Chains A and B, each alone.
Chain A
Amino acid sequence: MAVLQDKSGASPGSQGARMIFNPPVELVEKEMLLPDLCRLKLHAPLIAKRALPGNFVQIKVSDSLDPVFRRPMSIHNCEDETFEMVFRVIGRGTQLLAEALPGRKFDCLGPLGNTFEIPETDETAVMIAGGVGLPPLYFLSRFLIERHRIEPSRVLFLLGIRDKTELIVGADAEKLGVEMKYSTDDGTHGFHGFVTALFEDIYARRLRNSKMRVYSCGPTPMMQALSRIALSFKLPCQLSLEGAMPCGVGTCLGCAVKLRAKDEYLRVCQEGPVFNAEEIEL
């Protein structure tokens, strides 16, 4: 299975080819999509040039030691000399990011981590996102369509949100022309229930005999459920994980994820954040 390549033809996800850039990145646009959902566009030519779907950045949200560590943020999109992050405001770090004004510069490491595999030519790419797990999957979908000339109809995008007020989360993916399905916790839009149940429903009704490759990012319970489904259906499935990640460059060993087969751990920041569902135990 091929890994993605950046514009220079290199594959930063492979060991040994990794480069880490540390330029100051400048906030050029900010949009509050919802009261607690923020999109930032940052001017960062090196990151924008090198980043691939699945990669993340470690951004220092404060000039002081509050909070102490950088925040790992997945990359939502890259265009020309900018990249975008979409995130929910959940704590001190994301609050500071959301309060920043255009012109503010951040110290930022990236692009970091590995990348998704690309689907075979006869496979449907199924994206299963839980809420703000969407960014790496949006980036991947767009990359597959624009760079790998994959027909949008070969991408099925399933997005689980709390209720219909969060439909904005899927707006960018809608514009790609992919088949888009929603699930809501309260049934106010689309499928009533978890996005993993939506996937099982669609799989049973029409995908059972299709070749597909599943990609997912979202809350841990969602990806635990999806891992079980993918394993039972024997589907190739890649998960983009989050982790408590003080360093982001492989030295602190804080972001450990356990291998399924043996009593060993991998580092989310270094061997991930993208893992095959069958190799790890969530």
Chain B
Amino acid sequence: MTAPNLEVELCGIKFRNPILTASGTFGYGEEFNNYIDLSCLGGIVTKSITREPRPGHPPPRTYETTGGMINAIGLANVGVDRFVSEKIPFLKTLDTRIIVNVAGFSIEEYRYCVERLNDAEAIDMLEINISCPNVGAGGLEFSSTEKGAFAITSELKKISRYPLMIKLSPNVTDISAIARAAEEGGADCLSLINTLVGMGVNHWTFKPILTNITGGLSGPAIKPVALAKVWQVHNAVKIPLVGIGGALDHFDVAEFMIVGASLVQFGTANFINPDCTVKASEGLVDYLDKSGIDDISQLIGKLGGNNEVQGKNFPACEGT
């Protein structure tokens, strides 16, 4: 019996498997290099890069909460120029796909970064972060209105030599409308969801836990929200989707794919178990074998109705 095919094609790019690391949870790849075999990943999404270096918010920046965490790191990063000179050389040595996450506070800033990255090597795709909840102004307007999402996407599409993945926020009234606007603007694919706005309060001191007061909630607590958003957007657009939000293992990958994602990013899980992505890719082989599926792409968007059973060979009680 041959091993099931884990390879997934997205925007003309072949990914070894559907597992990516989410921006902000994997540094620039180097931090995990002594720990896991990075070539086991479908790809790495790097920490958000802005035009200028950013120190980030004063601590405390993170707060552990039930089933997840709230963070307000504040887009701390080395800036695009140092990213190209200091981080790209390492990324070039890796045998996996590299997706660079770009953030900004104006179209001009995004444009500067994209043009600078156009000259770099080793990059397969850009993820445009228009949805960071932890910065005071700028970026969010692009994900909170259809006009903004269309504008940033169409502007960057004109100049990027890479396919564009637009990262959407769940903190909007109608994510499907924003997704359609990005699609009309020329997005090659969409990733969703970014973190949900949350906060923590110290009931003894009456003070907020985070210096920034609010932050982004991530981790397994948000997986049901993320699944719902991916499913809604899958029904609203034709371009491929990348699911993000609380994935911990191979079953979560399968669930995101079933509701419409082609790839799945692992975020907070990297903090819990640094080898979660490698274990998930191994687990997918076993899952597909047990399911009688020989190609993982067969999962994408195959959500059944209440009375249908799409999968095969499912264990009678597993997952209940």
Q: Which residues of A contact B (CB under 8 A)?
A: 18-20, 22, 60, 65-70, 107, 109, 243-244, 246-247, 249-258, 263-265, 270
B261 to chain A minimum Cβ distance, whole angstroms, is: 22
The docked-state distance in angstroms from the alpha carbon of A264 to that of B82 is: 15
What residues of chain B lie closer than 8 Å to A250, measured between beta carbons? 27, 31
What residues of chain A lie closer than 8 Å to B273, measured between beta carbons? 60, 107
B71 at the interface (CB under 8 A from A): yes
Within 8 A of A (CB), among B266-281: 268, 270-275
What residues of chain B lie closer than 8 Å to A254, measured between beta carbons? 59-62, 71, 73
The docked-state distance in angstroms from the alpha carbon of A60 to that of B24 is: 22
A96 to chain B minimum Cβ distance, whole angstroms, is: 14
The docked-state distance in angstroms from the alpha carbon of A256 to that of B31 is: 16
Assuming the contacts A107-B273, A265-B76, asked whether A244 and B63 have C-beta atoms less than 8 A apart, the reply is yes
The docked-state distance in angstroms from the alpha carbon of A20 to that of B275 is: 12
**A265 pairs with B55, CB closer than 8 A:** yes
Q: CB < 8 Å: which of B27, B58, B64, B69 contacts A251?
A: B27
The docked-state distance in angstroms from the alpha carbon of A120 to that of B118 is: 51
B163 at the interface (CB under 8 A from A): no
Q: Which residues of B contact A (CB under 8 A)?
A: 24-27, 31-32, 34-35, 55-56, 58-69, 71, 73, 76, 219-220, 268, 270-275
**B67 pairs with A257, CB closer than 8 A:** no
Q: Nearest CB to that of B267 among chain A residues?
A: A252
**B272 pairs with A70, CB closer than 8 A:** yes
The docked-state distance in angstroms from the alpha carbon of A251 to that of B66 is: 21
**A255 pairs with B31, CB closer than 8 A:** no
| A interface: dominant SS | loop
18 more A-B residue pairs beyond the given contacts A19-B34, A251-B271, with a C-beta to C-beta distance below 8 A: A18-B34, A60-B273, A68-B66, A68-B219, A69-B69, A244-B63, A247-B25, A249-B35, A252-B62, A252-B71, A252-B271, A253-B56, A254-B59, A254-B71, A258-B58, A263-B55, A265-B59, A265-B76
Q: Nearest CB to that of B26 among chain A residues?
A: A251
Q: List 25 contacting pairs A-B, 8 Å CB cutoff, sorted by A.
A: A18-B34, A22-B274, A60-B272, A65-B272, A68-B65, A68-B272, A69-B69, A243-B59, A247-B25, A247-B274, A249-B274, A250-B31, A251-B26, A251-B270, A251-B271, A252-B24, A252-B73, A252-B271, A253-B24, A253-B56, A254-B60, A254-B73, A256-B56, A256-B58, A265-B76
The docked-state distance in angstroms from the alpha carbon of A16 to that of B27 is: 16
**A244 pairs with B59, CB closer than 8 A:** yes
A268 to chain B minimum Cβ distance, whole angstroms, is: 9
What residues of chain B lie closer than 8 Å to A253, measured between beta carbons? 24, 56, 61, 73, 76
Q: CB < 8 Å: which of B24, B35, B58, B71 contacts A22?
A: B35
Assuming the contacts A107-B273, A252-B25, A253-B73, asked whether A244 and B58 have C-beta atoms less than 8 A apart, the reply is no
The docked-state distance in angstroms from the alpha carbon of A251 to that of B220 is: 19
B300 to chain A minimum Cβ distance, whole angstroms, is: 27
**A69 pairs with B272, CB closer than 8 A:** yes
B53 to chain A minimum Cβ distance, whole angstroms, is: 8
**A244 pairs with B32, CB closer than 8 A:** no
What residues of chain B lie closer than 8 Å to A20, measured between beta carbons? 34-35, 274
**A22 pairs with B34, CB closer than 8 A:** no
What residues of chain A lie closer than 8 Å to B26, measured between beta carbons? 251
B82 to chain A minimum Cβ distance, whole angstroms, is: 12
The docked-state distance in angstroms from the alpha carbon of A20 to that of B68 is: 24
**A246 pairs with B76, CB closer than 8 A:** no
Assuming the contacts A109-B274, A247-B270, A251-B31, asked whether A256 and B67 have C-beta atoms less than 8 A apart, the reply is no
What residues of chain A lie closer than 8 Å to B220, measured between beta carbons? 65, 68
A149 to chain B minimum Cβ distance, whole angstroms, is: 33
**B32 pairs with A249, CB closer than 8 A:** yes
**B64 pairs with A246, CB closer than 8 A:** yes
What residues of chain A lie closer than 8 Å to B56, measured between beta carbons? 253, 256, 265
A17 to chain B minimum Cβ distance, whole angstroms, is: 10
Interface centre among B58, B66, B274 (most CB of A within 10 A): B274
> Top 4 closest A-B pairs, CB basis?
A254-B62, A247-B271, A251-B27, A246-B271
What residues of chain A lie closer than 8 Å to B55, measured between beta carbons? 263-265
What residues of chain B lie closer than 8 Å to A22, measured between beta carbons? 35, 274-275
What residues of chain A lie closer than 8 Å to B275, measured between beta carbons? 22
The docked-state distance in angstroms from the alpha carbon of A247 to that of B271 is: 4
A211 to chain B minimum Cβ distance, whole angstroms, is: 34
What residues of chain A lie closer than 8 Å to B67, measured between beta carbons? 65, 68
Q: Nearest CB to that of B59 among chain A residues?
A: A256
The docked-state distance in angstroms from the alpha carbon of A244 to that of B271 is: 12
**B58 pairs with A67, CB closer than 8 A:** no
What residues of chain B lie closer than 8 Å to A18, measured between beta carbons? 34
What residues of chain A lie closer than 8 Å to B63, measured between beta carbons? 244
Interface centre among A65, A68, A243 (most CB of B within 10 A): A68
**A249 pairs with B62, CB closer than 8 A:** no
Assuming the contacts A65-B220, A256-B56, asked whether A244 and B31 have C-beta atoms less than 8 A apart, the reply is no
Q: CB < 8 Å: which of A60, A68, A107, A257 contacts B59?
A: A257
What residues of chain B lie closer than 8 Å to A264, measured between beta carbons? 55
B87 to chain A minimum Cβ distance, whole angstroms, is: 13
What residues of chain B lie closer than 8 Å to A70, measured between beta carbons? 272
**B58 pairs with A69, CB closer than 8 A:** no
What residues of chain A lie closer than 8 Å to B61, measured between beta carbons? 244, 253-254, 256
